[in-house]
Structure 1
Amino acid sequence: MNIQIIEKVIDVFNRYGDGLRFQIERFEEVLNDEAPDMMDECYVVVLGMKMGVFEAIIFDEDFEISRYVRYLCEFTSLSEEEALFMVSVFSQVIDEIGYYFEIPDVEEFLKTAYQQNNDSHLYVLARTYFLGFGIKQDYEKAFEIFSYLYQRGYHECCYYIGYMYEHGYGVEQDVAQALNYYKQNVDSLSALRLGLFYMYGRYVTQDDQKAIQYLSQSQQKEAYLYKGILLEKQREYSEAFQSYLLGAKHFQKECMYKVGLLLKLGIGVDLDLKEAMHYFIYGYYLLQEDCAYELAMIYFDGIVVDKNQKKALDYLHQSARLNSYDACLLLSQLYELGRYVEKNHRFALSYYQQAQIIRKEKEGEYEII
Structure 2
Amino acid sequence: MARFYDYGLGVEQDAAEAVRWYEKAAAAGSAAAMCDLGVCYERGEGVEQSWEKAAELYRKAADRENAAGQCNLGFLYEIGRGVEQSWTEAVKWYGAAARQGMPRAQCNLGWCYEHGKGVEKNEKRAVHWYAEAAEQGDARGLFCMGVCAKRGIGVERDPAQAVAWYEKAVEAGSVPAMCNLGVCYENGEGVAEDLTRAAELYRMAAEREDAAGQCNLGYLYESGRGVEQNWGEAARWYKAAADQGYSRAQCNLGVCCEFGRGVAKDTAKAAWLYRKAAEQGDPVGACNLGYLYETGVGVAQSWADAVKWYTQAVEAGSARAQYNLAWCYEHGKGVPQDPVRARELYAAAAEQDYEGAREAADRLAGAGGKKGGFLRGLLGGGRKDR
When normalised by structure 1's length, the TM-score is: 0.62
Closer, same or farther: CA 271–204 of 1 in aligned 2, 3 Å: same
For residues 69-94 of structure 1, what are the alpha-carbon distances to aligned partners after superposition, in whole Å with 9 as ceiling and x for unaligned? xxxxxxxxxxxxxxxxxxxxxxxxxx
After TM superposition, the structure 1 = structure 2 runs for residues 65-76 of structure 1, keeping only pairs within 5 Å, are none
Q: Residue 293 and residue 164 in structure 1: after superposition, are their counterparts in 2 closer, same or farther (change >3 A)?
A: closer
Cα distance change of structure 1 residues 284 and 151 upon mapping to structure 2, 3 Å threshold? closer
Alpha carbons 1:266, 1:272 under 8 Å: kept: yes
Q: Are the equivalent residues in 1 in contact too, given 2:91–2:118 (CA < 8 A)?
A: no
State the structure with bigger RCO (CA 8 A, min sep 6), 1 or 2: 1
Cross-structure match for 1:293: 287
Superposed, which structure 2 residues align to 1:248-259 within 5 Å? 248-259=242-253
Q: Which has the larger radius of gyration?
A: 2
Quote the Cα distance in structure 2 between the aligned partners of 1:340 and 1:153: 57
Task: State the one-letter code of the partner of 2:108.
Answer: V
Aligned to 2:131: 147
Contact 2:160 2:189 in 1 (8 A): no
Find out whether 1:282 has 2:266 as its counterpart: no
Question: For residues 232 and 104 of structure 1, do their structure 2 counterparts lie closer, same or farther at Cα, with a shift above 3 Å needed?
Answer: same
Identity across aligned pairs (percent)? Answer: 22
The Cα of 1:368 is off from its aligned counterpart by 6.2
Q: How does 1:175-324 map to 2 (within 5 A)?
A: 175-186=159-170, 187-218=174-205, 219-234=209-224, 235-324=229-318
Structure 1 residues 177, 288: CA separation in 2 closer, same or farther (over 3 Å shift)?
A: closer
CA deviation profile, 1:321-345 (whole Å, cap 9, x unmatched): 4443333323333444455655432
Provide the C-alpha distance between the structure 2 equivalents of 1:310 and 1:165, rounded to a whole number of angstroms.
45
Q: TM-score, normalized by length of structure 2?
A: 0.59
The Cα of 1:274 is off from its aligned counterpart by: 1.6
Q: Deviations over 1:125-179 (max 9, x none)?
A: 3443344332223343343334344444444421122333444444455544432
* Structure 1 unmatched runs, 5+: 1-58, 63-99
Shift of 1:201: 0.7
Q: Mark the CA change 1:263 to 1:331 in structure 2 (over 3 Å): closer, same or farther.
A: same
| Per-residue Cα deviation, 1:201-231 (whole angstroms, up to 9, x for no partner) | 1111111111111122224433333222222
By how many angstroms is 1:266 displaced?
A: 0.5
Pairwise CA RMSD = 3.6
Matches of 1:102 and 1:113, distance apart in 2: 16
Deviates more, 1:316-325 or 1:353-362: 353-362
**Does the 8 Å CA contact 1:200/1:367 hold for their aligned counterparts?**
no
Would you say the 8 A contact 1:200–1:368 is kept in 2? no
Cα contact 1:61–1:133 (8 A) shared by 2: no
Larger % of helix: which? 1
